[in-house]
Structure 1
Amino acid sequence: MTKFVLTGSDGNLGRIAADFALEILKPEDQLVLTSYNLKLIPEDVVAGWRAKGAEVVEATYDDVESMKKAFEGAEAVGFISTWLFGDGRRNQARNVCAAAKAVGVKRVCYTSFVGAGCETDVEEEIPFLPRDHHFVEKTVKESGLQYNIQRNWLYMDNIPTLFAPSWKFCGDKWLSNSHGVPGAYVAREDCGRVFAALILGRGEPNTVYDVTGPEVVQQKDLMEWMCQQTGYKCEYVDMPDEELTKWWLDRGLPTDMATGDFSQLPMKLCIGDAICCGEMLGNGAMNSVSDTVEKLTGRKPARYQDYLLKYKDIFPKPE
């Protein structure tokens, strides 16, 4: 029997990974799913996981002892990056690696982000979103543990859920700074399944995997496709990074995710997050396609024309 642990199973990505891990888990193997608060997961979901043989326990990245207890006897542990930025996220990574090493875990898997593999260690030279991930990747690689790292491209889910709600606020415009450079947006569901596959050993040891969608596409084309579904009229407006930053700051978009007031704003993104999403397209970081999804899951990566239809009810609509 081989034991595998998936942490963060309460989150969007974690639940997808948990479901797929149970789907592909060998009957003789054991899966432990952790959450920092089991009350965040619907009771029927937890019951379903347990009915399929998973052990579901509480453990938090901020409590090494709780992780050591969950990790005991595991071959591999997967940890999912949280919404924290800076020292909080980095300390959590240190804690996971420390707990894993303390109880003899052989391999760790981490959900990283496009651009985290940049060569420089000068923080100011690394874009905002991959900055912490760059640090965490180094922490994992220097831990002495075997590793699998998946660098997720931007989720296509973010367009209808985070960015499209801002279009009416901006005067029926998508204000962006992608500068016309296309990117291979990926479905969050595909990322979750890839993570499960890596935890269960489908990847090569000490390997980094880029997780992309099946094609590169411009934001303008995505916007126009969404508008075709509802009849909404929207204009795509490209702006320099500095100009877009000022535009949102002038309207109160917070600089800090944890303490900011988003009550009067159309999207819950701090300024660094919002600007960097366009930057990762504009700098060409997402302008490539990999075969990771199909290679590790046996499924072709989702096309936005099919996948995003599940969000159609929240697409912007004409008044």
Structure 2
Amino acid sequence: MYLITGASGGLAKTAAEMLLESVPADQVVLTTRSPGKLQSFADRGAHVRYADFAVPDSLEAAFAGAERMLLVSTAQVGSRIGFHRNAIEGARRTGVEYLAYTSIVGAGIDANDAIVCTEHRATEAMLRESGLRWNVLRDSQYAEAVAYFIAPGAVARREMVGAWGEGTVGFVAREDCAAAAVGALLGRGEDNRAYEVTGPEELTYRQVCTMIAEISGVGIEYAPISDDEQYAIFDAIGVPREYQEDMSSSPIPWNSDDMVSFSRAIRVGNMSSLSDAVQTLGRRSPRSMRAVLEEAASTWPPAGAALQPAPADRVEEAAR
């Protein structure tokens, strides 16, 4: 049987839909902390089970009978490593033979000190030492994170401000990441290998800014800033610098150390990558950044409009 963790989340739910196009529903196990959110999958014959990585005792029953597993990384900076350790150990104990893990581009560079990359790098090391057959899927930055979170502010303010400099990113559509992950789960990859999962081209944020301006018809200035200036912006709106277990008082669900270190990694070239993994594993052509931006454009505000907080589901879907 095939198992996907965190299946009520955006990437995992998309992967579940794709997996059901290839295998019978009774061969699919979907785990989540909120089984009620997956009733439609249960109605189609998939096995929906409760699992919480923070509760290791819940994992044996959740993973029982699964042979091939997709571990979709959690979004909780600061607790991610421990949760992933519990999931990998639970998989090993219950007889899972193969595990694919969604990591991030840049995790394979030891000098890359972006917090998100150091946490994924630690999980990759645990997976290599687990005794399981494995694949690591190092996803590039989601194109949707730009299209639905950064672009609206750039259009409204006529300015795109950030500490990304002129570093390049192989922005990738989330559904393409899901397709690659399902391909690995189905055995299309080479065991015990990391795959970098990217879109069809590498772009700087300056180039993306130009695209947003062209699509919106609004003149937008690209404004590179330093790490210290980025911290000051986050400080001013009440974003904590370090990870906190309760981020409910923050206007953004990520701490600024995480976000600034990620921007710096882009700026210095540690997030640059281009690959054919979407084609190889997902058997599809990856969507372009422009295509994702054009799809999102109807949600952008007019220039000068007041920005509204992003919906909670969109925030969750964009989390790395």
Q: Which moved more, 1:69-78 or 1:244-253?
A: 244-253
1:211 corresponds to 2:208: no
How far apart, in 2, do the equivalents of 1:50 and 1:261 lie? 32
Q: Which residue of 1 aligns with 2:121?
A: 134
Aligned Cα root-mean-square deviation (Å): 2.2
Q: 1:144 is matched with which residue? A: 131
8 Å CA contact retained: 1:61, 1:95: yes
In 1, distance between residues paired with 2:272 and 2:108? Answer: 15
Given the alignment, which residue of 28, 31, 36 partners 1:34?
A: 31
Consecutive unaligned residues of structure 2, counting only runs of 5 or more, are 305-320
Amino acid at match of 1:46: Q
The structural deviation recorded for 1:29 is 7.1
Equivalence for 1:293: 278
- What amino acid is aligned across from residue 59 of structure 2 in structure 1? M
TM-aligned CA distance change 1:306 to 1:160, over 3 Å: closer
| Match of residue 284 from structure 1 | 269
Tell me how far apart the structure 2 counterparts of residues 273 and 209 of structure 1 sit (CA, whole Å). 23
CA distance in structure 2 between the aligned counterparts of 1:82 and 1:227, rounded to whole angstroms? 33
CA separation of 1:137 and 1:65: change in aligned 2, threshold 3 A? same
Match of 1:243 among 200, 206, 229: 229
Q: Which moved more, 1:225-234 or 1:290-299?
A: 225-234
1:80 CA drift (Å): 1.1
> Are residue 233 (structure 1) and residue 219 (structure 2) matched?
yes
CA distances 1:220-246 after superposition (whole Å, capped 9, x unpaired): 221222222233332110112233223
Q: For residues 208 and 278 of structure 1, do their structure 2 counterparts lie closer, same or farther at Cα, with a shift above 3 Å needed? A: same
Q: How does 1:263-278 map to 2 (within 5 A)?
A: 265=251, 267-278=252-263
Q: Residue 190 of structure 1 corresponds to which residue in structure 2?
A: 176
Consecutive unaligned residues in structure 1, runs of 5 or more: none
Q: Work out whether 1:159 is the aligned partner of 2:146.
A: yes
Find the aligned partners of 2:221 and 2:137 in 1 and give their Cα distance.
34
How many angstroms apart in 2 are the aligned matches of 1:58 and 1:214? Answer: 37
- Identify if the C-alpha distance between structure 1 residues 165 and 34 changes in structure 2 by more than 3 Å, giving closer, same or farther: same
The percent of aligned pairs where both chains have the same amino acid is 29
Q: How many residue pairs are counted as aligned between the two chains?
A: 303
1:133-160: per-residue Cα shift (whole Å, max 9, x none)? 1111111111111111100111111012
User: C-alpha distance in 2, partners of 1:315/1:262?
Assistant: 25
Q: How does 1:59-98 map to 2 (within 5 A)?
A: 59-86=51-78, 88-98=79-89
SS state of the match for residue 149, structure 1?
strand
Structure 1 residue 24 displacement after superposition: 1.9
CA distance in 2, matches of 1:13, 1:147: 19
Task: Give the structure 1 partner of residue 308 of structure 2.
Answer: none
Contact 2:179 2:282 in 1 (8 A): yes
- 2:39 partner amino acid: V
Q: Does structure 2 conserve the Cα–Cα contact (< 8 Å) formed by 1:154 and 1:277?
A: no
Q: Quick one: which amino acid aligns to residue 179 of structure 1?
A: G
Please say if 1:259 is aligned against 2:246: yes
- SS across alignment from 2:137: strand
Query: Are 1:16 and 2:17 matched, yes or no?
Result: no
Aligned residue identity for 2:168: P
Flag as ranges the 4+ runs of structure 1 deviating above 6 A.
Answer: none
CA contact (8 A) 2:158 2:303 kept: no
- 1:100-128 Cα deviation digits (max 9, x unpaired): 111211111111111111236xxxx6212
CA contact (8 A) 2:69 2:99 kept: yes
TM-score (ref. length: structure 1): 0.87
Deviation at 1:261, TM superposition (A): 5.5
Instruction: Evaluate the alpha carbon distance shift between residue 168 and residue 290 of structure 1 in structure 2; reply closer, same or farther with a 3 A threshold.
Output: closer
Partner of 1:314: 299
Q: TM-score, normalised by structure 2?
A: 0.87
> Partner residue of 1:46?
39
Partner of 1:57: 49
